[in-house]
Amino acid sequence: MYQIFKKNRDTARYFILSGFIIFSLLLLTVVYKSDEKVIKKSESNRNSYEVSDLKTLKKFILDQIKSPFTNIDYEIKEGDSIQKILRQYKIQNNEIQTVIKQYKKYGNPNQLLVGNKIDIVIEKNLRAKKNSVLKFSVPITKSTSIEITKDEENKIISKKIITKLYKKKILSENIIRKNLYSSAREANINPDTIIEFARIFGFEVDFQRDIRKNDYFKILYEKYFDENKEFIKSGSILYAHMTVNGREISLYKFGNDKEYGYFDLNGKSVEKALMKTPINGSRLSSSFGMRKHPILGFSKLHTGTDFAAPTNTPIMASGSGTITRAKWCGGGGNCIKIKHNSTYETVYAHMKNFAKGIKVGKKIRQGQIIGYVGSTGMSTGPHLHYEVIINGKKVNSQKLKLPSGKILKNNERTQFEIHRIKTDVLIAELFEKKY
């Protein structure tokens, strides 16, 4: 609201004048009170006139410092519509139509919920007879409201505000026929959750080489709904399981909302310095080592690993760190370089474009999307060229042995075991309800 006022030059001047007037009023009041006794004693006749004049001045000043902004808590009545409500407050007709147009994105402007209250802020036009609406916030359900406001450029905008969400724990599973992504979508798992699932298992599973047809996954995660049971967003993954090429891996989320990790049955963290692969749903198209360059035509050392994938496939940061390069890199096209610590660096090349907000100096977390697969630079098709650099030397990422994760001990291990048992019981209950 403050920024809206700041854009209005006349209103700003008005408040400056008001401040000066308030100060003058206080000064006059003090002078009047200090001299009141003298006036009564020496000039009784003239006193009545002066007091009267002072009251008149006081009234004039108070009238002038009244705010042009009115906040209205309007209760919706039978037969009300947006047009009917705003007309009674002398809102300009073109603004009424704009408010209605914004509201139509979410509901019928002629079917407001009787008894609900609308928060309205109006600016009175001191020169014209018509007023302006600065805010019109109306509830459309018990957990959702529509807020229509004026932005910094005096343009009317709207947004949907969720005031209350209902969390539900969901158990999903499926057999992998083609790849993890398509099988997870078949199980009605949201893309955001699939990406997080791939990030968690990216430390243990190479999605390009390890997964076989008829491998299996199971996941316990949170979903948030409104009171109409409409899906709003995904929450945390509480448990994740994969049967991959005969190997079974079960991971449990453990910790608080701000600091947590994923641990196996033995209380060992799955997280390592770098993920095995920074991309899901791709295939290994070119390994690290000597090869004949597909464009230049002569043999040279291929210092990375290529993953062929469809254009626009999300690319994840294989580890947390700071971006040191995000620009055009000649033959590498659009590329990003990340410094993870004093030992590890990674490079991602031939990207179509970068994710929003990616720039040099930005700190990113492991698994965060940094860009999308493309074919920029010297490239024969959409793929990701991925490099791992250790102490300044480029190495084969597929043969890299990374440090093991944290192992829970003492009281933490005890708490984890209790948490793991509770999670297993919950999974069994949800499985029984499902089948």
Query: How high is the pLDDT of residue 19?
Result: 58
Strand segments (E) across 21-115:
69-75
| Contact residues for 261 (Cβ-Cβ < 8 A; gap 6+) | 253, 254, 255, 269, 270, 271, 405, 406
| Contact residues for 143 (Cβ-Cβ < 8 A; gap 6+) | 162, 163, 164, 165, 166, 226, 227
Q: How far apart are CA 304 and CA 306, in angstroms?
A: 7
Per-residue pLDDT band for 419 (boundaries 50, 70, 90) equals very high
Query: How high is the pLDDT of residue 196?
Result: 85
Q: Which helix (H) or strand (E) segment is 29 a member of?
A: helix 9-42
Condensed to tens digits (0 to 9), the pLDDT of residues 229-256 reads 878 888 999 999 999 888 899 999 998 8
Q: How many residues in total does the chain contain?
A: 435
Query: How high is the pLDDT of residue 292?
Result: 56
Mean pLDDT, rounded, of the chain: 79
| Contact residues for 340 (Cβ-Cβ < 8 A; gap 6+) | 273, 274, 319, 320, 321, 346
For range 156-161, the mean pLDDT: 85
Q: How far apart are CA 123 and CA 134, in angstroms?
A: 7
Q: How far apart are CA 52 and CA 72, in angstroms?
A: 35
Among all chains, which residue has been given the structure tokens 């000039």?
Answer: 43
Per-residue pLDDT band for 154 (boundaries 50, 70, 90) equals confident
Q: How far apart are CA 274 and CA 405, in angstroms?
A: 11
Output the CA–CA distances (angstroms, integers) from residue 228 to 50, 189, 219, 233, in the order listed: 67, 19, 25, 14
Per-residue pLDDT band for 291 (boundaries 50, 70, 90) equals low
Query: How high is the pLDDT of residue 250?
Result: 94
The reply to whether the predicted model has a pTM over 0.75 is: no
* DSSP string over 255-277: E-SSSEEEE-TTSBB---SS-S-
Nearest Cα to Cα of residue 409 among 190, 252, 263, 236: 263
Among all chains, which residue has been given the structure tokens 């004039």?
Answer: 60
Query: How high is the pLDDT of residue 194?
Result: 87
Query: How high is the pLDDT of residue 172?
Result: 93
Q: How far apart are CA 120 and CA 291, in angstroms?
A: 69
Query: How high is the pLDDT of residue 42?
Result: 46
Condensed to tens digits (0 to 9), the pLDDT of residues 347-391 reads 999 999 999 999 999 999 888 899 999 999 888 889 899 999 888
